[in-house]
Chains A and B, each alone.
Chain A
């Protein structure tokens, strides 16, 4: 029994790592129908900037706000350079290539500044495991889970309660109508990109003590997080968390009960199934696109 508990716990921790990254996809999709495919690289940059600050002697918790500001600036830059021109000419796909291109550029910058080796991120919490229900959990894993849930709550509350959030939702529902209502939709979209890279940077420093830090850390994680966003639904904060849990637990349990060689397969089969039967994701609202 405690084996299953351990697998589920590790799966939850892994899934939440994916979920905190997946939030970034959700945030930009919610305003502009576009995605930042450089999400993994935003995560990498956040983690590496955080690592540099920590190495300079800054406290881990004090470093987080600075990294968040850095992330917000980086996100705004991506939107201005890569996404705005595409939206302006109503290009359906231009932003895909431009965000990927910017991601590659950011990765190369990171490689040249920080090298391509994996570095250790000092853990702010003790590295000895805690015992919980007969299984072992690292304090850092609990922090990641809390971070993911907190992010979900903040995003949901922001979208539902605040006036800015309503502007975000309005922009998503009908960009032109929102504009006529006096909402500066351009600013809202820039803001959503800033917020998305901010969460990615935050996710970066949150997970770095568990995953090793390096210029290539974002590639695989960014892809898995994208799968999570698709499974959960790109329009739902709740869906991201549940999608992360499903993918994470599927990976660890398949690895143990079936074969570690096939551990990525069930999650991806689920992804295909979701795309076939519920294209908006398990928790997503089905949007009818009027042409």
Chain B
């Protein structure tokens, strides 16, 4: 257990002092699992956040004040997340918080920010409900710049049914909330195409044998496997297929890009496809700078960011927040909220350039059409389609507010 005091590694940047002398820093909370099974996502997110904060501080901070990150390890546990939220609000008095990898932690923690009127930007958690938890309240302080499950599930089905022309699909999902909510979304997306999954199987976290699940899928004649789970168990599925000598494509949620899937599945994991908002390819100068800077600063193994999506979204979340604070002119929660909902200037991020990413009714910056299909090849995630790669060379334009204003039911 990382000691509490250790988790409190506030990044005070040298430039901050040099900058304005005694200007009071703007405190921003960063909550995520920096240890545990989802730590590859949490740490990449945190590093992306650090990178953005450092750049902003070097350029003079926001409103002449440096950003000060208050980083806390929520260990992917709901109750830790709640504790941290209360502390950040009451003791640290943060102006806003970014983070949350796990949907459960986000749902448990963000009500405190809602009550305290402090904006939260979810930069990784994908549960569909997250941005709709407070729909019935006059003001909703929860924002997100990650692709939610209702974008991902239809993309996965589209790829399988339209892109690859498979008709018989099996779903393998883990028994957690993440897996089972994702499975529901996948079933709905299949139903929309007039299809039913030929097999729907479940597995537990830490399961070491997937024979039964895979044989059922095989006997049902599945042409591909759709997955909703996290890295280690996804790797066991790939390894199980190698063992049975039955290899069909795996298409699943974005977690198929996790380093612990790619490393543990090895050759058997090649070819898996998943929706990604960011792929570690220097397709634009902005992305090149981000990737180079990240690799230089944090030195990931084999120069491969553990979770490029988390890093990029973490980075962008800080830029979105900084833009809103700048526009609001103050750090008051309600003012920052209304600035986020009406961002005047486009915000250049690495995922995309955000032009009016949020509105009063839409708090999800990532909409359908923005994520692309990634594929595991040569132990890295690359663009599955050349067309996407070419298109990515110009930062995709925002889908525009008209498409986004529609409430997502």
Contact = CB atoms under 8 A, between A and B. Distances in A.
Q: Residue among A119, A137, A212, A220 with the most chain B CB within 10 A? A: A212
Interface in B201-234: 201-204, 206, 208-209, 211-213, 215-216, 219, 231-232
A282 B125 CA distance: 48
B208 A211 contact: yes
A214 B232 CA distance: 10
B209 A10 contact: yes
B37 interface: yes
B242 interface: yes
Contacts of B39: 115-117
Contacts of B235: 118, 212
A246 to B, nearest CB: 15
Contacts of A137: 243
Interface in A200-228: 210-212, 214, 216-217, 219-221
Contact of A216 (B202, B206, B212): B206
B40 interface: yes
Contacts of B196: none
A278 interface: no
Contact of B236 (A119, A212, A260): A212
Interface in B250-281: 260, 263-264, 266
Interface in A1-55: 3, 6-7, 10-11, 13-14, 17
B245 interface: yes
Given A212-B232, A212-B236, A260-B201, A129 B212 contact: no
Nearest to A263: B212
A120 B209 contact: no
A136 B232 CA distance: 22
Given A118-B37, A118-B231, A260 B245 contact: no
Interface stretch (A65-73, A156-164, A235-243, A250-258): A250-258
B260 A260 contact: no
Given A111-B35, A118-B260, A136-B243, A260 B215 contact: no
B212 A256 contact: yes
B interface secondary structure, majority? helix
Nearest to B263: A120
B244 A136 contact: yes
Interface string A270-285: 0000000000000000
Interface string B369-407: 000000000000000000000000000000000000000
Contacts of A119: 260, 263-264
Q: Residue among A10, A118, A211 with the most chain B CB within 10 A? A: A118
B215 A6 contact: yes
A117 B212 CA distance: 26
Given A129-B242, A212-B264, A261-B175, A252 B35 contact: no
A46 to B, nearest CB: 16
A117 B208 contact: no
B285 interface: no
Contact of A120 (B219, B243, B244, B264): B264
Q: Residue among A115, A255, A259 with the most chain B CB within 10 A? A: A255
A166 to B, nearest CB: 37
A225 B306 CA distance: 33
B219 A260 contact: no
A221 B235 CA distance: 18
Nearest to A141: B243
A137 B201 CA distance: 22
Nearest to A17: B208
Interface string B34-65: 01110110000000000000000000000000
A interface secondary structure, majority? helix
A127 interface: yes
A116 B244 contact: no
Q: Residue among B209, B219, B263, B264 with the most chain A CB within 10 A? A: B209
A159 B260 CA distance: 43
A127 B242 contact: yes
B211 A7 contact: yes
A91 interface: no
Nearest to B264: A120
A129 B244 contact: yes
Nearest to B258: A117
Interface in A99-157: 108, 111-112, 115-120, 127-129, 131, 136-138
Nearest to A211: B208
Nearest to B306: A117
B1 A108 contact: yes
A17 B206 CA distance: 14
A219 B206 contact: yes
A117 B40 contact: yes
A269 B144 CA distance: 45
B211 A10 contact: yes
Contacts of B266: 120, 127
Contact of B219 (A3, A214, A263): A3
A7 B244 CA distance: 11
Contacts of B203: 260
Nearest to B266: A120
A7 B1 contact: no
Contacts of B244: 6, 129, 136
B73 to A, nearest CB: 11
B211 A252 contact: yes
Contacts of B202: 259-261
15 contacts: A6-B215, A7-B211, A115-B39, A117-B260, A118-B235, A120-B263, A212-B264, A220-B204, A252-B209, A252-B212, A254-B212, A256-B211, A260-B203, A260-B212, A261-B175
Given A259-B202, A260-B216, 7 more contacts: A117-B37, A118-B235, A129-B244, A221-B206, A255-B211, A256-B211, A263-B212
